[in-house]
Amino acid sequence: MSVTPAAQPPPQQEPTTLAARFALYQRAGGVITPLLTTLLALFIAGLVVRFTTGASPLDTGRAILDGSGLTWFIPESVMDIRSVAGTYDDWPSEAEARLNAEINLQQTLIFTTTLILTGLAVAFAFRCGLFNIGGQGQFFVGAIVAVAVGAEVSGVGRVLHVPLVLLCAALAGAVWAGIAGILRATVGAHEVITTIMLNWIAYWIGSYLFSLGGPLQSDRSRQVPISNDVQESAKLHVFWGDFQGLHVGFFIAIAALVAFYLILNRTTLGYGVRAVGYNPEAARYGGISVSRNYFLAMAISGLFAGLAGAVDIMGWQYRYGQIDIQQSDIGFAGIAVALLGRNTSIGIFFSALLFGALLTGSNTRNLALPIEPELAGNMTLIVQGLVVLFVAADLVILYLWRFRKRLGLPRREPKAVGS
């Protein structure tokens, strides 16, 4: 029989699951810890810049900020770029600078759109106590299905085609993640392992489909391992800007954030998912099927990731190819987005925006100055890695600053005896 106790004082209540532990820190740190995590990650990235290139971290930061287009919101600041980047041969006119910022902002928000969706894919599973590392594979599957349905199906109007592609891609992502969910629910295979395996399966399926002579390879340019473009009727409307402007997928992502919140907090399904995430044994006792929720949580996660793939294809890529598959890591970026965003809607929005801005701002195209392009391109990866590292290490931040103490949080004690 178990030894757990009658009146055990709160300090010893070590949360039982990952999700429960997370909830504890989330409540304790509020918005302070993610902010500090971000600042610390940026700071370390700045040190890297300093020691590898000798460039000023502050100037670099400013350059990235400008490159991200976020300065567009503050019109006066757009022109400040001159004070930092002293080496422009011909100064851009005010109008040019503003247009530049506008284009960069559109690019940032396009990335934000995808990151929100891949972030949600990680977060939803997390709230059920599962670690979905398979966002990347689910994203691939979604993108592949979107290309297939978007390019090969024709003759249906936009009103039908767009929802059809979205639906098929989302379902494909759900099936892909659902496989891992079923394996966890039935034979107990750990989702971290299975989702990683599924990532590789999706990777190679995609590589085959787009390979020269492969089933989805373009029939116009036979020499390139890339798909046909999706039909006009399957493209998402671009409502801001012309070339690679911001598409309505942005609103799909915002809607997904709202849906995430509502499903988790306002539906019976979400109640079950959270109960299982916090305490599977209590859920079971309460008559909630743990395995059913494992499956559902994974499938819904996959839905978000599949949607991410579709929105990327329909919004700006329009085609997919081997190179894209080899270079894509936006599914993995979702892990950092979710962790930094504390697996909540609001948090994910802001952390997706941050990473979207970093991706755009450190893009070599925008960041001519003052640091080397290779390093700039890797800035985002550095920050991303640091964020995951910090969060994974039980929020080192809290520890470093002894916030636990001030917040009245328990110290870590040796694990208690179960029975």
Closest distance to Mg ion from the beta carbon of 9 (Å): 5
Contact flag: residue 282 with other proteins (CB under 8 A):
yes
Give the residue, chosen from 9, 54, 86, 414, that forms a contact with ligand ATP under the rule CB under 6 A. 9
The amino acid sitting at 123 is: A
* Long-range contact pairs involving 159-167 (C-beta distance under 8 Å, separation at least 24): 161/231, 161/233, 161/234, 162/233, 162/234, 162/236, 162/314, 165/230, 165/234, 165/310, 165/313, 165/314, 166/252, 166/307, 166/310, 166/311, 166/314
Q: Compute the Cα dihedral for 44, 45, 51, 52 and give only its sign.
A: positive
Site for other proteins in 3-22 (CB under 8 A): 3-13, 15-16, 20
Paired residues of 238 in beta bridges:
247
- The nearer residue to ligand ATP, 92 or 410, going by C-beta atoms, is 410
Contact flag: residue 289 with other proteins (CB under 8 A):
yes
Q: Which residue in this structure is represented by tokens 């600041």? A: 77
371 conformational bin, left if phi > 0, alpha if psi -120 to 50, beta if neither: beta
How far apart (Å, rounded) are the C-alpha atoms in residues 93 and 279? 60
Give the residue, chosen from 5, 10, 157, 287, that forms a contact with ligand ATP under the rule CB under 6 A. 10
* Spatial CA neighbour of 303 closest among 200, 168, 409, 418: 168
Within 10 A of 274 (CB to CB), how many other CB atoms are there?
20
Q: How many residues bind Mg ion (CB under 5 A)?
A: 1
Structural tokens at position 23: 């909830």
Contact 55, 379 (CB under 8 A): no
Structural tokens at position 231: 């039909």
Contact 337, 118 (CB under 8 A): yes
* Spatial CA neighbour of 207 closest among 111, 257, 148, 140: 140
Contact 75, 111 (CB under 8 A): no
Q: How many residues bind ligand ATP (CB under 6 A)?
A: 3
Closest distance to Mg ion from the beta carbon of 6 (Å): 8
Closest distance to ligand ATP from the beta carbon of 24 (Å): 11
Contact 298, 132 (CB under 8 A): yes
List phi, psi (to 5°) of 226.
Answer: -145, 160
Closest distance to other proteins from the beta carbon of 176 (Å): 25
Q: How many residues bind other proteins (CB under 8 A)?
A: 49
Contact flag: residue 405 with other proteins (CB under 8 A):
yes
Paired residues of 321 in beta bridges:
226
- The nearer residue to Mg ion, 8 or 186, going by C-beta atoms, is 8
* Spatial CA neighbour of 194 closest among 110, 131, 261, 240: 131
Can you say how many angstroms the Cα of residue 76 is from the centroid of all Cα atoms in its chain?
Answer: 31
Give the residue, chosen from 170, 283, 325, 397, that forms a contact with other proteins under the rule CB under 8 A. 283
Closest distance to ligand ATP from the beta carbon of 1 (Å): 21
Contact flag: residue 275 with other proteins (CB under 8 A):
yes
Give the residue, chosen from 1, 3, 6, 7, that forms a contact with Mg ion under the rule CB under 5 A. 7
The amino acid sitting at 269 is: L
Report the partner that residue 157 touches, choosing among Mg ion, ligand ATP, other proteins, none (CB closer than 5 to 8 A by kind).
none
Interface segment toward other proteins; rule CB under 8 A; list 205-213, 242-250, 267-275, 299-307:
267-275
- The nearer residue to ligand ATP, 7 or 95, going by C-beta atoms, is 7
Closest distance to ligand ATP from the beta carbon of 7 (Å): 3
Report the partner that residue 285 touches, choosing among other proteins, ligand ATP, Mg ion, none (CB closer than 5 to 8 A by kind).
other proteins
Site for other proteins in 327-346 (CB under 8 A): none
Contact flag: residue 407 with other proteins (CB under 8 A):
no
- The nearer residue to other proteins, 7 or 95, going by C-beta atoms, is 7
Contact flag: residue 188 with other proteins (CB under 8 A):
no
Site for Mg ion in 191-210 (CB under 5 A): none
Residue nearest to Mg ion (CB): 7
Within 10 A of 375 (CB to CB), how many other CB atoms are there?
18
Interface segment toward Mg ion; rule CB under 5 A; list 1-9, 61-69, 117-125, 316-324:
1-9
The amino acid sitting at 134 is: G
* Spatial CA neighbour of 118 closest among 317, 392, 310: 310
Given the rule CB under 6 A, which residues bind ligand ATP? Answer: 7, 9-10
Given the rule CB under 8 A, which residues bind other proteins? Answer: 1-13, 15-16, 20, 23-24, 265-271, 274-275, 278-279, 281-289, 405, 408, 410-411, 413-419
